């Protein structure tokens, strides 16, 4: 694996290896020397809390040097093209570049103009592969398996890179996916990715996991749904709509009382904070996979 | 008056030898630009055909001469086997007044390597609000009218343009796109688009507008020309219109005949075009329509873009690819060699078909005709590289591909312009 641009760069063995490495790396205290002398560049052209902080911390926990850049305050503000930014930063000879960008195809362009391993930390509505991996990790941790699991993904699939990556990743590990949401927000043709679709919220009843997508307020401008109020009343995840033991996940940031009721988000079956914790271990495992291939994470951990 | 302009100068005398459509090898003698004799000669593998006519080229002048000029674009066309092209008016400034058109005609008389016609805008500034002065533009040499790049959104304005066509006698060429359905769309609505997360541009956005425009044309009993069709639903609408006796011609691009939306998975900005690449069933319907003549023209929609514009994330890049220098070779390789289209049909759709559709002189290989000839080598393979191009831009979807078939010589309006 040279880059992680999309879940389609992974096969089932890759996923297993990364999840195992993440399990080995989880809960370790202090730093590991694995990536000492390696340079990780983190380029965020779009706002982020969870992803940027966890990538930075993951790299530091593995003893890599880290440069973190945000679009605001950089030469991007002065109109520099992405190509020129990458060519410039490539002169520091980074080993990995973690990139988030609002436009689809940006990570591919970064990979074209640098020699580094590129990790897509989210490109437009396209892909967010490390989110999908941390979601798999969280599900397996909570439910003990992935094969045969039924996951209902609820909400604005059309504009969601999280959903696209997760559908692919769940298909890879043998889980079943049902997409549930307003017909205007379920992309035409998405069944080809190996999932089924439904418009009635009752379709989540049989799911082991209800994965709630963020409803973006700006989508209202394009009239995809008549009102947020109507969305919340028909598709919002309330305590009445989930049963005990049915796990609930959300990639964050949460719009409480819009796509998810606060009582569900904070309830005993919520895995939302577990997802955040998984993010650190999984991103360490991904950097390890790309930059220290061959050295098993468990042994690396043992050395520490 | 003629609607094609090019550099004034000599007429050539030369002899070209090649196989004609029927298979017989001939020597065609051109004297002072006119075919003087066609005589049998020793068998040759080379093919001699009427030169090509491209009804849809963006020469980017005025305004973006860094991307293409009349000189570079017509040199590219000559190298591609073309003896005439029509340039689109979506330049900066837009070709919507006799003064802008007049300066282009003057420039073509100075710089154009092959006869070049200019379409003028249907609406002022391509804004879709007011008709241009179509009568005056016709007098100034407009070859046809189009708002290409944009649809004529207002049905009322479209109707007026059709009515006014009775005065100008010039074709109306239409970019059919219902903008509230395509709305920021970049990729054909379907499985690939759903997976990639790019904004969808459904086939319906084209076909709904095609149906509207055909209805208007039927009502006004005026002809129209449908540009760069991409969707099977548009073909079906066109067939129904032909059955009703509506006079509508249509064109298809090499990329829509060869590629599908699967190509977009690479996120290569050189497979981003408007209309977008569609599903395989659309591609097959386009090919069938080209074969049976429902679509009579191949058009390149040659759309040069600067390197900077295409070296960006897919979503940020402009629509359009170049095509003048690769159209014959790619269609020969992908369609004729694959047994999907006869060579004679391909030549007809690249030459006589577009000439008749747009009211241009039809290239013919017959004694007494102005010489418009292309000599083709069907055996040579070549690899498409940036260094091959006469065009100022190299945003080709074929970079790196090996094609079979080369244009050896092009004679346009009696002059050897390539080879």
Q: What is the pLDDT of residues A88-135, one digit of tens each?
A: 999 999 999 999 999 999 999 999 999 999 999 999 999 999 999 999
Considering CB atoms only, which of B194, B195, B314 is closest to A105?
Answer: B314
Give the least confident one: A293-297, B151-155, B342-346. A293-297
Instruction: Tell if the CB–CB gap between B311 and A105 is shorter than 8 Å.
Output: no
CB B15 within 8 A of CB B29: yes
ipTM: 0.90
Q: Which of residues 200-229 of B touch A (CB under 8 A)?
A: 200, 202
- Domain with residue B79: its CATH number is 3.20.20.140
Instruction: Judge whether residue A303 has pLDDT over 50.
Output: no
Instruction: Tell if the CB–CB gap between A127 and B313 is shorter than 8 Å.
Output: no
Query: 């570049």: which residue's tokens?
Result: A97
Instruction: Tell if the CB–CB gap between B189 and A109 is shorter than 8 Å.
Output: no
* Candidates B292, B301, B316, B379; catalytic one: B301
The per-residue pLDDT for range B258-291, each reduced to its tens digit, is 999 999 999 999 999 999 999 999 999 999 999 9
DSSP one-letter code for B250: E
Q: What is the band of A47 on the pLDDT scale with cuts at 50, 70, 90?
A: confident
Q: What is the band of B118 on the pLDDT scale with cuts at 50, 70, 90?
A: very high
Residue A234 burial (CB count, 10 A): 13
Q: Which of residues 181-200 of B touch A (CB under 8 A)?
A: 183, 189-198, 200
Instruction: Tell if the CB–CB gap between B196 and A104 is shorter than 8 Å.
Output: yes
Query: 């988000």: which residue's tokens?
Result: A265
Where in the sequence is the domain holding B58, given as residue range(s)?
A: 51-361
Q: What are phi and psi of B416, to 5 degrees?
A: -75, 110
The per-residue pLDDT for range B249-258, each reduced to its tens digit, is 999 999 999 9
| pLDDT value of position A302 | 46
Instruction: Judge whether residue B324 has pLDDT over 80.
Output: yes
| pLDDT value of position A232 | 94
Instruction: Tell if the CB–CB gap between B315 and A190 is shorter than 8 Å.
Output: no
3-state helix/strand/coil string of chain A? CCCECCHHHCCHHHHHHHHHHHHHHCCCCCCCCCCCCCEEEEEECCCCCHHHHHHHHHHHHCCCEEEEEECCCCHHHHCCCHHHHHHHHHCCCCCEEEEEECCCCHHHHHHHCCCCEEEEEEECCCECHHHHHHHHHHHHHHHCCCCCCEEEEECCCCCCHHHHHHHHHHHHCCCEEEEECCHHHCCCCHHHHCCEEECCHHHHCCCCEEEECCCCHHHHHHCCCCCHHHHHHHHCECHHHCCCCCEEECCCCCCECCCECHHHHCCCCECHHHHHHHHHHHHHHHHHHHHCCCCCHHHHHHHC
Mean pLDDT of B346-356: 98
Q: Which of residues 262-281 of B touch A (CB under 8 A)?
A: 267, 269
Considering CB atoms only, which of B189, B191, B197 is closest to A126?
Answer: B197
Considering CB atoms only, which of B197, B267, B311 is closest to A164?
Answer: B197
- To the nearest whole percent, how much of chain A has pLDDT over 70? 94
Mean pLDDT of B148-176: 96
Instruction: Judge whether residue B97 has pLDDT over 80.
Output: yes
Whole-angstrom Cα distance, residue B338 to residue B333?
Answer: 7
CB B224 within 8 A of CB B174: yes
CATH number of A129-275: 3.40.50.1370
Q: What is the band of B23 on the pLDDT scale with cuts at 50, 70, 90?
A: confident
Instruction: Judge whether residue A49 has pLDDT over 90.
Output: no
Distance from CA of A152 to the nearest CA of B (A): 17
How many Cβ contacts (< 8 angstroms) between chains A and B?
75
The fold of the A7-127+279-303 domain, in CATH, is Rossmann fold (3.40.50)
Residue B314 touches chain A, beta carbons under 8 Å: yes
Q: What is the pTM of this model?
A: 0.94
To the query of whether residue B139 is one of the catalytic residues in this protein, the response is no
DSSP one-letter code for B363: P
| pLDDT value of position A198 | 98
Give the start-to-end residue ranges of the domains of chain A. 7-127+279-303, 129-275
The per-residue pLDDT for range B178-192, each reduced to its tens digit, is 999 999 999 999 999
Instruction: Tell if the CB–CB gap between B194 and A101 is shorter than 8 Å.
Output: no
| pLDDT value of position B22 | 75
Whole-angstrom Cα distance, residue B354 to residue B78?
Answer: 16
| pLDDT value of position A294 | 60
* Chain B residue whose CA is closest to A127: B196
Distance from CA of A30 to the nearest CA of B (A): 38
| B245 within some domain | yes
Whole-angstrom Cα distance, residue B156 to residue A169?
Answer: 50
Q: What is the band of A295 on the pLDDT scale with cuts at 50, 70, 90?
A: low
| pLDDT value of position A304 | 42
| B29 within some domain | no
Q: What is the band of B203 on the pLDDT scale with cuts at 50, 70, 90?
A: very high
Distance from CA of B269 to the nearest CA of A (A): 9
| pLDDT value of position A297 | 55
| B401 within some domain | no
| pLDDT value of position A74 | 72
- Decide which of B213 and A81 is more confident: B213
| B67 within some domain | yes
Distance of CA B189 to the CA centre of its chain: 25
The per-residue pLDDT for range B25-34, each reduced to its tens digit, is 999 999 999 9
């Amino acid at each position: 694996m040279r880059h992680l641009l999309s879940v389609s760069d992974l096969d089932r063995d890759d996923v297993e290896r990364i999840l195992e490495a993440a399990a080995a790396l989880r809960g370790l205290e202090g730093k590991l020397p694995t990536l000492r002398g390696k340079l990780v560049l983190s380029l965020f052209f779009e706002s982020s809390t969870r992803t940027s902080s966890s990538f930075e911390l993951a790299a530091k926990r593995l003893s890599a040097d880290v440069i973190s850049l945000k679009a605001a305050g950089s030469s991007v503000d002065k109109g520099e093209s992405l190509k020129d930014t990458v060519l410039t930063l490539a002169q520091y000879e980074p080993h990995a570049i973690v990139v988030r960008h609002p436009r689809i195809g940006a990570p591919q362009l970064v990979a074209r103009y640098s020699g580094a391993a590129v990790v897509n930390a989210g490109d437009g509505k396209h892909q967010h592969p490390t989110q999908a991996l941390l979601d798999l990790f969280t599900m397996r941790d909570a439910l003990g398996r992935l094969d045969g699991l039924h996951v209902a993904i609820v909400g604005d699939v059309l504009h969601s890179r999280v959903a696209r990556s997760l559908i692919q990743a769940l298909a890879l590990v043998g889980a079943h996916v049902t997409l549930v949401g307003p017909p205007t927000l379920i992309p035409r043709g998405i069944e080809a990715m190996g999932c089924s679709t439904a418009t009635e919220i009752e379709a989540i009843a049989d799911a082991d996991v209800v994965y709630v997508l963020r409803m973006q307020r700006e989508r209202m401008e394009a009239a995809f749904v008549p009102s947020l109020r109507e969305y919340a009343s028909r598709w919002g995840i309330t305590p009445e709509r989930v049963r005990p033991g049915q796990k609930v996940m959300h990639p964050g940031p949460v719009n409480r009382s819009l796509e998810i009721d606060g009582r569900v988000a904070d309830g005993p079956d919520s895995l939302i904070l577990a997802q955040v914790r998984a993010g650190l271990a999984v991103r360490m495992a991904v950097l390890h996979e790309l930059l220290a291939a061959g050295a098993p994470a468990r042994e690396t951990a043992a050395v520490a | 008056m003629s609607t094609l302009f090019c550099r004034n100068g000599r007429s050539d005398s030369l002899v070209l030898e090649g196989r004609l459509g029927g298979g017989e090898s001939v020597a065609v003698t051109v004297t002072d630009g006119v075919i003087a004799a066609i005589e049998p000669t020793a068998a040759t593998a080379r093919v001699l055909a009427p030169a090509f006519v491209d009804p849809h080229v963006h020469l980017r002048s005025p305004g973006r001469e860094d991307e293409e000029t009349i000189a570079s674009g017509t040199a590219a066309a000559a190298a591609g086997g073309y003896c005439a092209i029509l340039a689109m008016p979506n330049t900066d400034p837009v070709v919507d007044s006799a003064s802008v058109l007049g300066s282009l005609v003057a420039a073509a008389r100075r710089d154009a390597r092959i006869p070049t016609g200019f379409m003028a805008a249907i609406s002022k500034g391509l804004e879709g609000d007011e008709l241009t002065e179509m009568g005056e533009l016709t007098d100034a040499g407009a070859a046809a009218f189009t708002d290409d790049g944009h649809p004529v959104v207002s049905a009322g304005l479209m109707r007026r343009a059709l009515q006014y066509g009775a005065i100008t006698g010039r074709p109306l060429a239409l970019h059919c796109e219902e903008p509230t359905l395509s709305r920021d769309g970049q990729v054909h609505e379907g499985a690939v688009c759903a997976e990639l997360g790019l904004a969808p541009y459904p086939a319906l956005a084209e076909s709904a507008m095609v149906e509207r425009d055909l209805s208007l044309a039927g009502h006004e009993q005026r002809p129209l020309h449908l540009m760069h069709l991409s969707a099977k639903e548009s073909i079906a609408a066109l067939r129904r219109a032909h059955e009703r006796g509506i006079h509508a011609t249509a064109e298809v691009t090499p990329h829509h005949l060869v590629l599908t939306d699967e190509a977009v998975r690479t996120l290569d900005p050189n497979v981003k075009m408007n209309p977008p690449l569609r599903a395989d069933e659309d591609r097959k319907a386009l090919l069938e329509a080209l074969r049976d003549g429902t679509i009579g023209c191949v058009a390149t929609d040659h759309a040069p873009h600067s390197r900077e514009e295409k070296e960006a994330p897919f979503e940020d890049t402009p629509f359009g690819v170049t095509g003048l220098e690769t159209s014959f070779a790619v269609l020969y390789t992908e369609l004729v060699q694959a047994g999907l289209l006869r060579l004679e049909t391909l030549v007809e759709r690249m030459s006589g078909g577009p000439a008749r559709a747009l009211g241009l002189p039809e290239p013919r290989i017959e004694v007494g005709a102005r010489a418009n000839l292309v000599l083709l080598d069907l055996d040579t393979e070549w690899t498409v590289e940036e260094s091959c191009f006469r065009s100022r831009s190299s945003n080709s979807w074929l970079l790196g591909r090996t094609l079979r078939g080369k244009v050896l010589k092009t004679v346009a309006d009696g002059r050897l312009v390539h080879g």
